[in-house]
Amino acid sequence: MRARRHLTALLLAAALFPSPALATEAPCYRGVNLSGGEYGERDGTYGTNYTYPSEETIRYFAEKGLTIIRLPFRWERLQPALGGRLDEDELKRVKDTVGLIRKHGMAVLLDPHNFGYYDKVQVGTAPATNAAFGDFWARLAVEFANQDGVLFGLMNEPYDIKATDWLTAANAAIRSIRAVGARNLILVPGTSWSGAHSWEKDVIGGANGTVMLGVRDPLDFYAYEVHQYLDVDSSGTHPTCEGSTAAVEAIAEVTAWLKRNHKRGFLGEFGASADKDCMSGLTQIYATMSGNSDAWLGWSYWAAGEWWPADEPFNVQPRKGPERPQMRLLVEAAKADAGTCSAVKPVGK
């Protein structure tokens, strides 16, 4: 569920010219991942093996001033057979959760949390072909097409697929989304866990920072989603932050890349414990994004959700007892960023 890991944080001063629908004075999306819908095996039982956030939890984060929820779910549960119809019960659960999030004034980022796979088959290989991936997105896009406040995240953290192959799959999904008339904002990850730290490195089949410039969207209404953790290997699996400085520099480097290429970015996952070095790193990352709203649409912290254990170091799910320091920092960052932008591109723009 986590992403993976140096130059100084000098940022290019080149101007960026976003489309009017994306323009904002500050990052408009500041939120959290509400985990749970991606838990368990594909045939897991709702309420036993996986869950979606309650209205109580959604209300809590809305009242804290957050503006977006990234909502993970499993592709296989939503579409039990490739090329087939979406499961009505699971689709209703997703729709009901989206409705609750929108009721409380927050946007929602739909997140098939599959790491570039359907069951154990990598996207782009039979039977999980690029056409099948496009079919899934066409069916899902129809259900949420042009709904205000609904964003489409193509896939969580593709990791061992060549960058060139992933680009082909991503473009197939984008074509399918636009073909059904959906004008929603699309967030496009790279391969290699979509790590900010490796964005311009050739890890597998080319560097994301080069290959993913080949994204083709007829509406030109997309942004790049990257992930970055602060521990020693950028995996988000350690409670200490020996990689804090490197993580801050990675976000600075991606910021420069976005500006240089006139693109926009979204930090879909990041997180850390309440360790002193972690908190310092989180503060600097927020400052970089807030100071470069021409490059960043926003961020969503990992993680929260009813089933996250209280002893999970990154957890900001409300529990009995004092609020987590990371949550207080989230709230302060949300207060500082007051921009708004549309999740659906207006017709004619």
Q: Which residues are catalytic?
A: 157, 269
Q: In whole angstroms, give the CA distance from residue 96 to residue 98.
A: 5
CB 227 within 8 A of CB 156: no
**Residue 223: in which H helix or E strand, if any?**
strand 222-227
Q: In whole angstroms, give the CA distance from residue 279 to residue 16.
A: 30
Query: What Cα–Cα distance (Å) separates residue 205 from each residue in 141, 160, 212?
Result: 29, 10, 11
Query: What Cα–Cα distance (Å) separates residue 284 from each residue in 14, 126, 278, 279?
Result: 21, 43, 10, 9
Closest CA to 155 of 218, 110, 93, 98: 110
Helix intervals (H) in the chain: 55-63, 75-78, 88-103, 130-144, 163-179, 208-211, 244-260, 276-290, 325-336
CB 343 within 8 A of CB 107: yes
